[in-house]
Amino acid sequence: MNPEDVSVKIFKALGHPIRLQIVKFLLGEPRCVCEINRHFEFSQANTSQHLKILKEAGILENRKVGVEMHYSVKLAGIEALLAAMDDTVAEFFDSLNF
C-alpha cells in the first residue's frame, strides 16, 4: 500500500458525517461503545459498522476494559487534520462574502 492509498482510505473513512462525528467525539478521551451509542443515539449495529470502518482505516484503535470495548483515536495527526479542515471550512464560508 502506498501513501496515496492510505490518504484516500483515511479521507474516505472521515468522509461520512457519522464517522466524522464519532472521531471528533473520541478526540478527548477513549470511550466505550455504549457511550458512543448514547451520545449519538445510533443502533448498536450502525455504530459497530462505522467503528469497524474507522479502525480498518487506521484512525481508531480499541481496547477491552472488563466487558466493555473502548475506542480511541490512534493517529495523533487526526486532530491536526480535523483542525485544518475546520479552518478550511471557515475560509470557504468567508470567501462567499456574505
What are the two backbone dihedrals, phi and then psi, of residue 38, each rounded to the nearest 5 degrees? -65, -40
Instruction: Return the pLDDT at 84.
Output: 96
Q: What angle do CA 83, 84, 89 make, to 5 degrees?
A: 95
> Which pLDDT tens digit goes with each residue over 18-60?
999 999 999 989 999 999 999 988 888 999 999 999 999 999 9
- Cβ neighbours around 19 below 10 Å, total: 20
What distance in Å separates the CA atoms of residue 55 and residue 78, rounded to the nearest whole number? Answer: 13
What distance in Å separates the CA atoms of residue 26 and residue 84, rounded to the nearest whole number? Answer: 17
Report the pLDDT averaged over residues 2-30.
Answer: 95
Instruction: Return the pLDDT at 7.
Output: 93
Residue 98 has pLDDT above 90, yes or no: no
Which distant-in-sequence residues (6+ apart) come within 8 Å of 78 by Cβ? 23, 27, 59
> Which pLDDT tens digit goes with each residue over 61-87?
999 999 999 999 999 899 999 999 999
User: Three cell numbers at 63?
Assistant: 481496547
Report the pLDDT averaged over residues 93-97.
Answer: 89
